[in-house]
């Protein structure tokens, strides 16, 4: 039998009958990108697999996100509607009212966008948004979001694993916390023209919290590009914490040695602590946190008992072993 060999750009293409079984990628490895890359058994596998399967987020609003996998961490609770999620939220850069972000962010253009990574890490620098997210996979994670004002939603986020981002940038042993900073642009963000907070918005997590499998940077919801009122083009989602920890419009990620000061912690330290874990046993000074109202359930729907760690205790309770969560709220 004549062997069928074609060489294109130094890449050898073989006739199917001439390919040995050991040269064929298994279905399991093909479907699991990371295992395929780690295996490294096929010459050039990393180079070929990376760009083709990397995260891509179009710049167009309401654009569909392709290649999104489902997450095992998703809740099975009924999701809120797209309208609920995009019209009732907190985003003080666009106003302090719940409906202000939807009303005031329509003209905001979130692309082009850059993210700076600095601090105690091996891989630092300023990256265009597309390059920053490229090495990762997109996942849909249906998470509960619990706000300190005692309301909640169930949101189908599309995001990338924060733990993977951390590993990629290789923090050193000096990095004990991850600090986040949002865009400061009063011309485009009318809420920043008022001194309600010390702008830009700042947040932070311990390295253990940031590296927990539940933490993500969201770039979409409902399978589409992240809308402006929800923090386009990229925001933090930490589902076991109150909503104010989930900083939007991120432009800087810093690996730091000391606990960073966070915006609400600076503004009202008697009400908002660094950890901000959902804890129904600790009331806000001005209202109870023991129950919550699910947005979209109707004005006469019964309130829901609040769950410790927003129901994610099995994944995160170990992070706070030995910590007094009444004192360190």
Residue of 320 and 33 predicted with greater confidence: 320
Q: How far apart are CA 143 and CA 85, in angstroms?
A: 12
* Radius of gyration of the chain measured on its C-alpha atoms: 22
What pLDDT, in 10s, does the model give residues 194-212?
Answer: 999 999 999 999 999 999 9
| pLDDT of residue 166 exceeding 90 | yes
pLDDT, position 167: 98
Cα(246)–Cα(143) distance, rounded to whole angstroms? 13
Q: In terms of Cα–Cα distance, which of 296, 300, 268 is closest to 284? A: 268
Q: Return the pLDDT at 53.
A: 60
Domain boundaries, the chain: 26-55, 63-320
pLDDT of residue 31: 36
**3-state DSSP percent of the chain in helix, strand and coil, to 5:** 25, 25, 50
pLDDT at 14 over 60: no
Distance (Å, whole) CA 118 – CA 95: 29
Distance between CA atoms of residues 204 and 212, nearest Å: 14
Statement: residue 129 has pLDDT above 90: yes
**Among the ranges given (18-22, 121-125, 274-278, 288-292), the one the predictor scored with the smallest mean pLDDT:** 18-22
Q: What is the pTM of this model?
A: 0.84
Reply yes or no on whether the pLDDT at 52 is more than 60: no
Please determine, for residue 3, whether its predicted confidence score (pLDDT) is greater than 70.
Answer: no
Tokens 């809420």 label which residue?
A: 191
- The whole-number pLDDT of residue 46 equals 35
Q: What is the mean pLDDT of residues 219-231?
A: 98
- Per-residue exposure over 102-135, b if at least 16 CB sit within 10 Å of its own CB, e if not: bebbeebebeebebbbebbbeebeebebbebbee
The pLDDT of residue 57 is: 97
How far is Cα 150 from Cα 291, in angstroms, rounded to an integer? 7
Given pLDDT bands bounded at 50, 70 and 90, which one contains residue 300? confident
- Give Cβ neighbours of residue 231 (< 8 Å, ≥ 6 apart): 91, 218, 246, 247, 248, 249, 250
pLDDT (mean) for 267-287:
95
- The second-level CATH assignment, the architecture, of 63-320 is Alpha-Beta Complex (3.90)
Q: What is the mean pLDDT of residues 263-284?
A: 96
Mean pLDDT value across the chain: 87
pLDDT tier at 54, thresholds 50, 70, 90: confident
- Supply the pLDDT for residue 285: 92
Higher pLDDT, 186 or 35: 186
- What is the predicted pLDDT for the residue at 298? 86
Tell me the pLDDT band of 47, cut-offs 50, 70 and 90: very low
pLDDT at 270: 92
Q: What is the pLDDT of residues 72-121, one digit of tens each?
A: 999 999 999 999 999 999 999 999 999 999 999 999 999 999 999 999 99
Residue 262 phi, psi (nearest 5): -110, 155
Question: What pLDDT sits at residue 29?
Answer: 37
Q: Average pLDDT of 218-226?
A: 98
pLDDT of 172 reads: 98
């Amino acid at each position: 039998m004549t062997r069928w060999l074609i060489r294109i750009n130094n890449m050898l293409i073989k006739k199917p009958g001439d390919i040995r079984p050991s040269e064929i990628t298994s279905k399991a490895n093909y479907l699991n990108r990371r295992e395929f890359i780690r295996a490294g058994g096929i010459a050039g596998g990393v180079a070929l697999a990376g760009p083709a399967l990397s995260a891509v987020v179009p710049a167009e609003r309401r654009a569909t996100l392709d290649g999104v996998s489902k997450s095992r961490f998703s809740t099975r609770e009924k999701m809120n509607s797209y309208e609920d999620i995009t019209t009732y939220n907190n985003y003080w850069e666009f106003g302090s009212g719940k409906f202000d972000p939807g009303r005031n962010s329509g003209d905001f253009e979130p692309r082009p966008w850059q993210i700076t990574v600095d601090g105690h890490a091996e891989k630092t620098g300023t990256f265009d948004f597309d390059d920053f997210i490229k090495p990762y996979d997109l996942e849909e994670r249906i998470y509960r979001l619990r706000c300190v004002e005692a309301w909640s939603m169930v949101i189908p986020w599309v995001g990338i694993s924060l733990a993977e981002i951390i590993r990629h940038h290789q923090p050193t042993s000096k990095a004990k916390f991850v600090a986040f900073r949002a865009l400061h642009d009063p011309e485009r963000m009318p809420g920043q023209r008022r001194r309600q907070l010390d702008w830009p918005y700042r947040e932070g997590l311990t390295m253990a919290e940031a590296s927990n499998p539940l933490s993500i940077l969201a770039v979409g919801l409902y399978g589409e590009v992240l809308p402006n009122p929800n923090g386009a083009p990229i925001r933090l989602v930490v589902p076991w914490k109150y909503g104010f920890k989930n900083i939007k419009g991120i432009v800087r990620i810093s690996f730091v040695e000391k606990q960073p000061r966070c915006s609400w912690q600076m503004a009202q330290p008697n009400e908002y602590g660094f950890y901000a874990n959902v804890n129904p046993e600790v009331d806000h000074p001005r209202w109870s946190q023991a129950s919550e109202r699910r947005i979209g359930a109707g004005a006469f729907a019964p309130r829901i008992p609040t769950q410790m760690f927003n129901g994610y205790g099995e994944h995160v309770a170990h992070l706070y072993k030995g910590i007094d969560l009444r004192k360190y709220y």
